[in-house]
Amino acid sequence: MARSALLNVMVQAAMKAGRSLARDFGEVQNLQVSLKGPADYVSQADRKAEEILFTELSRARPGYAFLMEERGAVAGEDDQHRWIVDPLDGTTNFLHGLPFFAISIALERQGQVVAGVIYNPAMDELFTAERGGGAFVNDRRLRVSGRAKLSDAVIGTGVPHLGLGHHGNFLVELRNVMGEVAGIRRIGAASLDLAYVAAGRLDGFWEDPLQPWDIAAGSLLIREAGGYVSDRDGGQAMFENKSVVAGNEQIHRALLRTIKKPLSPR
Ligand code: IPD
Ligand code: CA
Ligand code: CA
C-alpha cells in the first residue's frame, strides 16, 4: 500500500518514538520486582517519547500547532493545522509490564481530523487512517465487525479509577451493558480500544471521561472502517463532552440507548 507523504511523516515519528518506548518497556519489566517499582522510570519514558514526537513532527511540518498530553497546547504560526498527540496511551499497562500501550497521533485540518496513526510497539501493530482513504493495520484494510445484536457483542470500556470520573454513574452503565452483551473488556488504552473497534475485534466501546488525545486518531480509524463514533448524547462534541460511544451502526445505536437506561432492580 502506498502511503501519502503526510501519513509517512506520522508513521516515521510514531516508529521512532515506538523504538524508544519499546526499549524502556523492556527495562520496566526488569524493574517490576524492585521495591520502588518503575514509576519514575515510566514518566521519563513518557516524556522522552513526547519529545521525539514533538521534534520529528515539528521538523517535518514547521509551524503546525500541537495539543499534547504532557506539554498541553502549543500554538503554531499555521492556524489551519494541529497535531493531537498522546505519546504513551495505556501508562498503567506499561508500568505493570502489560503489552497494551500505544502512541496516538492525529492531524486536524481546520478543526477536522484528517489523519490518524496508532502504534503499539510491543505488538508491532501499526494502525493508520486518512480521511476518505480507509483504515489499515500493518497495510491490511480494516472493517468494523458485522455483529448486529448486543447479545453477540464483545464491548470495550474504561473503568474510572482513583480520582477520575464518576464511579456511581459508571456502575449504572456497566450494569446496564453487562445484562445485554456477550462480554466486556477493559483493555486499558483507549486508543487501542478504538483501533480494535475499527478492526472488528471489539464490536463496540464506550468510555467517559476521555481526552482529545485519547480519541482523535481512533475515531477517524473507526469511521474509515465503516463504523460510528459519537459522544454519549449521540452528537459530535467528543472533545468537549469528553465521552465516546462507538461501534457499527446497530451496536453504536444500541449502546447509546443501553448506557442511558435508568437502573432496574435485578
Ligand atoms: C488512559 C487510557 C485508559 C483510559 C484512561 C486514559 P493514559 O490514558 O487510555 O484506557 O481508561 O481514561 O486516561 O493516561 O494511559 O495516557
Ligand atoms: Ca491516554
Ligand atoms: Ca498518556
Same domain, 68 and 184: no
Given pLDDT bands bounded at 50, 70 and 90, which one contains residue 28? confident
Statement to judge: residues 22 and 125 lie in one domain: yes
**Over 80: is that where the pLDDT of 166 sits?**
yes
Pocket test for ligand 1, best of 88, 193, 214 (most atoms within 8 A of CB): 214
Residue 265 in domain: no
pLDDT, averaged across the chain? 94
pLDDT of 85-103, one tens digit each?
999 999 999 999 999 999 9
pTM of the model: 0.96
Answer yes or no: do 136 and 154 share one domain. no
Q: Tell which of 91, 122, 141 closes a domain.
A: 141
Q: How confident is the model at residue 164 (pLDDT cuts 50, 70, 90)?
A: confident
Q: How sure is the predictor about 73, in pLDDT bands with cuts at 50, 70 and 90?
A: very high
- Whether 43 and 83 map to the same domain: the answer is yes
Number of domains in the chain: 2
118 and 185 housed in the same domain: no
Residues 63 and 119 in one domain: yes
CATH (domain of 184): 3.40.190.80
Domain boundary among 89, 121, 141: 141
Tens of pLDDT, residue by residue over 132-141, are 999 999 989 9
Last residue of a domain, one of 117, 141, 165: 141
96 and 125 assigned to the same domain:
yes
The DSSP bridge partners found for residue 108 are 82, 113
Q: Do 177 and 108 share a structural domain?
A: no
**Cα–Cα–Cα angle for 183, 185, 91, nearest 5°?**
180
Q: Within 6 Å (CB) of ligand 1, which residues are found?
A: 86, 89-91, 158, 188-190, 207, 210, 214
Domain that holds residue 82: 5-141
